[in-house]
Amino acid sequence: MEVEAFLADSVVAAESKLFVQGGGWNIIHTATLPTQHPRIGIGMIVRIPYTATNQPHQFELRLEDEDGNQIALGKHSPGTAPEGEDETISQIDGEFNVGRPAGIFPGDEQFLPFAINLDGLRFEKVGAYRFVLKVDGSEVKTLPFRINQVPQVGPIPRPS
């Protein structure tokens, strides 16, 4: 299975399409660390071959730093964490199953759009990060990006 994916400011999947704001970046600039980014959108299109339809498939999305350490994606609402787990969400996973609609021919592939928006991700340090997407246990796509610290620009002092 092939996957096309990109980073954006926000993504929505509707009517079998992706609607994107601020798509196609790979650097986040920040004046201070740690920093909390308002929203990162991940747009994905899974290309499902004809022979892989009508069967369940699993996906997994996680965020790693440059050392391969997983970064928390958020927290469960109080009392909603699975039994025996802490409140931290370390990855997003799920299943999908795409059928064969009328009019599809043997050999045709189908596109399944996914839109994931992550609000308030916290980054402790500058450096390289990457989202890793797996389908059916195989890594199919990585989305690398960098956190850069830039000097904060303040007001220009007026001469006395």
What is the average per-residue pLDDT within 72-97?
83
Per-residue pLDDT tens for 134-145? 999 999 999 999
pTM of this prediction? Answer: 0.88
What is the second-level CATH architecture of the domain 2-148?
Sandwich (2.60)
CA torsion through residues 110, 97, 121, 148, sign: negative
Query: Each residue of 99-115: b (16+ CB within 10 Å) or e?
Result: eeeeeeeeeebbebbbb
Residues in contact with 53: Cβ distance below 8 Å, sequence separation at least 6, in sequence order:
98, 99, 100, 110
Per-residue pLDDT tens for 53-83? 999 999 999 999 999 999 999 887 777 767 7
Distance CA 76, CA 61 (A): 16
Average pLDDT, the chain: 92
The domain segmentation of the chain, as residue ranges, is: 2-148
